[in-house]
Structures are given as C-alpha cells and as structure tokens.
Amino acid sequence: MPYVLQELPEHGEPMTLGEPVHDIIVAKVIASRRAVRTQRVTIVTDDATGKEVARFDPTVSEPKASVTRMRADAVIPAKSESDSGISIKKSG
C-alpha cells in the first residue's frame, strides 16, 4: 500500500513530496527527518484512502511515547542506609 508524504506550509495548500513510498516505516522515517530539517509539519497519508497516518510537527516538543512509557514503568525505590541502590522489578 503506497503512502504519500506531504509538507504543510504556513499558508497555502499542502505540497506532495516525491513519489509514494510503499513501506510505512520508511515513510515515517523520511517524514520525521524532513520535518526536523525543514522545520515544517510533514504528514504521511494513505494514498488509497487519503487518510492521515502520521504527522510530524517539529515545533511540538513532546517526549516520544516509548520514553514516556519507559519512565512510567521504572521502579524508583525509597532508599535507606542499608539499601545498595539495586532494585529488581518483577513482571507478572
């Protein structure tokens, strides 16, 4: 399934960037890097449906979901004098 990359200028219509990309992961990487490089919002849309699949806005400074998830899963034990600072998280 092809994915189209588009750049959203501040004013005017979205500009299509190059040829459709057939791998969603590749499309997202290209769009992300372009958004950072150009400082413009770059979107990935499904060519068949026209539905937006991903949006990369370099002006929004949010931590990535994976970083947020890792921080949420981290176990931070209360330290005591006898505590070595090592904790083991049991998954269950």
Per-residue pLDDT of the chain (92 residues; tens, 9 = 90+): 899 999 998 887 889 998 999 999 999 999 999 999 999 999 999 999 999 999 999 887 655 554 445 555 555 555 555 555 565 666 65
Identify the domain containing residue 34 by its residue range.
Answer: 3-73
In a domain, 80, yes or no: no
Torsion of CA 7, 12, 16, 17, to 10 degrees: -50
Q: What is the predicted pLDDT for the residue at 56? A: 92
In a domain, 92, yes or no: no
In a domain, 54, yes or no: yes
**Structural domain count of the chain:** 1
The pTM for the full model equals 0.62
Tokens of 1: 């399934």
One-letter amino acid at 19 equals: E
Q: What is the predicted pLDDT for the residue at 43? A: 94
Provide the 3-class DSSP secondary structure of residue 29.
helix
In a domain, 9, yes or no: yes
Give the dihedral sign, CA 69/71/77/78.
Answer: negative
In a domain, 85, yes or no: no
Q: CB-based contacts of 60: which residues, under 8 Å, 6+ apart?
A: none
In a domain, 44, yes or no: yes
In a domain, 33, yes or no: yes
In a domain, 90, yes or no: no
